[in-house]
Amino acid sequence: MSDTARGEKPVLKQYFGASGRHPEACIEMSFSLPDRRFSLQHLARALEQSGYDLDIKASRGELALPEAIGALASALLEHPAPPRWSAGASGATGWICMSHFPPSIAATALLHCHGAIVSEDVPEAARMLGRHARTWRPAGEIGGLLMQAAGGLGLGVVSASPGGSVFQIGSGARGRHFFELANSQDSLTGQILSRDKLSTVEFLQRAGLPTTRAVSLWRADDALDAARRIGFPCVVKPRNRGKGLGVTARILSERHLAEAVEHAAGVSDYPLVLENHVAGLDHRMTVVDGKLLWVYRRTPPVVVGDGRATIRELIASENQRRADARKAQSRDTYLKEVVADPSLQRFIAENYGLTLESVPGGGRQIDLSGEANLARGGLLEDVTEQLHPDNRDMAVRVAQLFRMSALGIDFVTPDISRSWKEVPSAIIEVNSNPGISGHGDASLVLRTMLPFRLSGMVPSFVVIGEDDYQRSVQRAVIDALSRRKLIVGHGTYLRGNPRAPAGDPFNSVRSPEVEALLLDPRVEAVVVSSPVTAIEARGFPLGRCDVTFAAGTKLSDTMVRCSKRVVTDVLDQDAITRLVHGIVAPYQDGLGGIRPIVERIDVTDATGIVAILRCWRPRALPRARFLEHLAGMGAHDNGGTADAMLTSRDVIRAVERLARMHMRDAGQESRAIEFGEIAPACPWDTPCMDIPVSARIGQEIAMKSLTSAMDTVNALLNRLG
């Protein structure tokens, strides 16, 4: 008989930091451990029938209940990144800990997966599970990518509301609120302007920038006169909707125009916008904090005829390919499903004279849309390297005009490598909440927003012990921080929350003092005191801290790893002051230095590899300026196009040339140090490249040459901005 049948409900518990069971904040679920083991095969097949094609690890074998829950929940929550979990048993009780943000998602997923696995009605369990799983991403795919990138940079994530979509990356005065990529540094006026497509066009025209000719449609009867004034082909779109909703591009006839107006009015109130169609290729340029990060060329989804399949069948095959790509986590995971809706049917009828049941000839390419919006299945190509510097400067200026921290600019031009001043082109839209397509994009965003090693976080200290020890050390730390002119926030872990809703398993034990400190934009340093019992009950109070004072207290290895330094000796006031000032100084003096673009990872390898050169993805910087500075150092590079943007390959080649120059200066053969092949990468899903470096000489000389070259390149990139 199942646990559910016996009426025994699982118990949920929240850890706010590392504990003896899990290395980070998590939700723990404990439950009675059945004697039998479980197979996920039947449940996986039933989920596939309801539209969930899951790659469940170990689904072919029989698992203990904790491992079965972990495997199923991880598969359901795997996009954009699978959650981390650990599981085990203690006597007759099983347990599983799972990290996911927000924690309520992990709790809900664990409860439903437990119920589905122990259920005796597999089809009904699968239907219930599939229904609930579709609601388990309130922060959205973009939010999930940013949160994962934050974890990789050692940044904390705090929810502004447990059930909401606004979250904070970082802590205190250096934290930043996010809703997807929109963030607290954006201006409200810029958001209002960008949401109104007609106001956007007029604003850009006043600034002397290239855009379309656009007019408002206040009623359907105005459309034909407006189109005759603007000219065919034209575009009709809602005035204030995003993600391609209601947009019809490349309108060629009066009949098509009437259908486009009806389509736009179906998703938006009047007025609508009618504008001229701009010939060229569609590009999304994304600017963050005044820096252009990337340019992606977007093309409409296509199918290619084989002389046998209908267009409907070709679309189904393409959607299956996209589903397989997402399942395999390939470079095409950003692709959305192509929906054969009336808009698509109108487009292929108007432009090709075909229907969904038509059979295109072998090799014939059929565009499935007149516009290249990713939300409607558009395709993506990175063309940042080809970008003309004038177009880069234009994009940065647009973001400045709108006073936006994050802005997506949709720019149509026949050739992105030519200046907007030389060829017919237009900014057709701006997006105040632009998308990101993978882990590489998310990492580049946060490394741009938080360029310093210590940016995003405030100095943090944890004091663990008995009451007298807590009070004396906390007072000494606060005094030391106050002498550095910092606004100090201090509180006690798990003091209790009298305002929490009755029966809430999370907020009833949440520490309001600690979370208030992390969310408070006034706080410049955090000091948390905690009794040992609170640590044992709910884990470490912070995800990471600079110093833990824990004289006479034994911490688990996972808790020790949460702190950069653990002090187990009893220190006097002067010693604490010196320690605190040493910790705080890097925060105040340049925030610990710039995050480098190139880093060295030391390895010990019998094959001769002495290090891994890690090159993080650079933002769009003019290649000519970089090469000019290198030439001044004697490191010439005549390859590639100077009138374009810098790439990771350029950075790696520069390090290689400079390292060999240092080898020669040291009297060594320059070819005695070798760099491995630069593997092709998908930029939106690849945060960095790792290149093996080998040497046929002493490791010390090779490392000195490599380090000197890296320092030179990092300093140059920092100067270029």
Write the DSSP assignment of 176-231 as a string of letters: EEEETTEETTS-HHHHHHHH-HHHHHHHHHHTT--B--EEEESSGGGHHHHHHHH-
- 544 belongs to a structural domain: yes
Residues 660 and 587 in one domain: no
> Could you tell me the sign of the dihedral formed by the alpha carbons of 585, 587, 591, 592, in that order?
positive
467 & 575 share domain = yes
Answer whether residue 702 is part of any domain.
Answer: yes
Residue range(s) defining the domain that contains residue 560? 460-592
- Beta carbons of 511 and 158 less than 8 angstroms apart: no
Three-class DSSP category at 86: strand
Which residue do the tokens 């609120």 mark?
A: 177
Phi, psi (rounded to 5 degrees) for 553: -120, 135
- Of 228, 217, 195, 201, the closest CA to residue 261 belongs to 217
Nearest alpha-carbon partner for 373 in 426, 322, 335: 335
Residue that finishes a domain, picked among 118, 137, 156: 137
**CA dist 150 → 144, 147, 567 (Å):** 10, 5, 27
Q: What is the dihedral of CA 72, 73, 78, 82, to 10 degrees?
A: -110
Phi, psi angles (nearest 5°) of residue 216: -90, 145
At residue 548, the 3 state secondary structure works out as strand
Residue 696 falls within a domain, yes or no?
yes
Torsion angle (degrees, nearest 10) of CA 149, 432, 517, 485: 100
- CATH number for position 471: 3.40.50
The 10s digit of each residue's pLDDT in 345-375 is: 878 887 888 999 999 998 899 888 766 777 7
- How far is Cα 667 from Cα 673, in angstroms, rounded to an integer? 13
Assess contact for 507 and 501: CB atoms under 8 A. Answer: yes
If asked whether residues 15 and 68 sit together in one domain, one would say: yes
Looking at the domain assignment, is residue 604 inside a domain? yes
What pLDDT score was predicted for residue 444?
Answer: 97
Task: Give the dihedral sign, CA 709/710/712/717.
Answer: positive
Range of weakest confidence among 166-175, 450-459, 637-646: 637-646
The whole-number pLDDT of residue 609 equals 81
pLDDT at residue 151 in the model: 87
In the chain, pLDDT over 70 holds for what percent of residues?
Answer: 91
d(CA 440, CA 179): 19
Structure confidence by residue, pLDDT tens digits, 553-591: 888 887 788 899 999 999 999 999 999 999 999 999 888
Dist. CA 545–CA 458, nearest whole Å: 9
Its sign, for the CA torsion 359, 365, 371, 373, is positive
> Is there a single domain that holds both residue 584 and residue 605?
no
Tokens 């070798």, residue located = 674
Burial (CB count within 10 angstroms: exposed 0-12, middle 13-18, buried 19+), residue 252 = middle
Angstrom distance (rounded) from CA 697 to CA 176: 48
**Which residues lie across from 689 on neighbouring strands?**
615
Residue 99 has pLDDT above 80, yes or no: yes
Q: Residue 175: inside a domain, yes or no?
A: no
636 pLDDT more than 90: no
**What tens digit of pLDDT does each residue of 412-447 get?**
999 999 999 999 999 999 999 999 988 999 999 999
Mean pLDDT confidence for 65-70: 94
Confidence label for 86 from pLDDT (cuts 50, 70 and 90): very high
pLDDT class of 508 with cuts at 50, 70, 90: very low
CA 300/CA 257 separation, integer angstroms: 20
- pLDDT of 108 strictly over 50: yes
Q: What is the pLDDT of residue 640?
A: 55
8 Å CB contact between 366 and 311: yes
pLDDT score of 400: 97
What is the identity of the amino acid at 467? D
- Cβ of 312: how many Cβ atoms within 10 Å? 15
Domain-embedded: residue 80: yes
- List the alpha helices (DSSP H) in 366-423: 389-401
Question: Based on the domain organization, do 578 and 613 belong to the same domain?
Answer: no
* Mean pLDDT taken over the chain: 87
Residues 503 and 580 in one domain: yes
pLDDT of residue 497: 53
Rounded to an integer, the average pLDDT of 107-122 is: 90
Number of independent structural domains in the chain: 4
Q: Which of 59, 70, 124, 71 is CA-nearest to residue 95?
A: 70
Contact 87, 94 (CB under 8 A): yes
Last residue of a domain, one of 540, 571, 592: 592
Looking at the fold, whether 553 and 658 belong to one and the same domain comes out as no
pTM of the predicted protein model: 0.88
Distance CA(240)–CA(244), nearest Å, equals 11
Distance separating alpha carbons of residues 268 and 277, to the nearest angstrom:
21
Residues 579 and 487 both lie in one domain: yes
CB neighbourhood size of 131 (10 A):
11
Q: Which of 352, 368, 384 is the last residue of a domain?
A: 368
Domain match, 513 and 543 both: yes
Three-point CA angle 528, 532, 538, nearest 5°: 75
Are residues 494 and 554 located together in one domain of the fold? yes
340 has a pLDDT exceeding 90? no
DSSP sequence for 144-155: HHHHHHHHHTT-
> How distant is the alpha carbon of residue 384 from its chain centre?
19
Grouping H, G, I as helix, E, B as strand and the rest as coil, residue 12 is strand
- pLDDT at residue number 559: 78
* 602 and 584 inside one domain: no
For 92, 97, 548, the CA distances from 33, given in Å and listed in that order, are 5, 15, 37
Angle value at C-alpha 421, between 626 and 232, nearest 5 degrees: 135
Any domain includes 209: no
Q: Helix, strand or coil for residue 651?
A: helix
> How many residues does the structure list for the chain?
721
Q: Look at residue 498 and tell me whether its pLDDT is greater than 80.
A: no
Q: Are residues 577 and 629 in the same domain?
A: no
Determine the straight-line distance between the first and last CA of the chain, rounded to whole angstroms. Answer: 65
DSSP single-letter state for residue 645: B
| Contact between residue 181 and residue 468 where contact means Cβ atoms under 8 Å apart | no
Query: Amino acid identity of 587?
Result: Y
Mean pLDDT for the stretch of residues 492-517: 65
At 60, the pLDDT band (50, 70, 90 cuts) reads: low
Does the residue 227 lie in any domain?
A: no
Euclidean distance between CA atoms 310 and 298, whole angstroms: 25
Of the candidates 164, 20, 21, the one whose C-alpha atom is nearest the C-alpha of residue 98 is 21
* Cα→Cα distances 146→24, 140, 449, 680, 689, Å: 18, 10, 12, 24, 19
Contact 658, 629 (CB under 8 A): no
Q: Which residues contact 240 (CB under 8 A, 6 or more apart)?
A: 195, 196, 197, 268
Min mean pLDDT across 60-64, 96-100, 211-215 is at 60-64
CA neighbor of 457 nearest in space, from 30, 668, 169: 169
- What stretches of 252-399 adopt beta strand conformation (E)? 272-276, 281-288, 291-299, 302-304, 365-367, 379-382
Instruction: Answer yes or no: is pLDDT of 514 > 50.
Output: yes
- Under DSSP, is residue 375 helix (H, G, I), strand (E, B) or coil? helix
* Per-residue pLDDT at 3: 44
Asked if 503 and 600 count as a contact pair (C-beta separation under 8 A), the reply is no
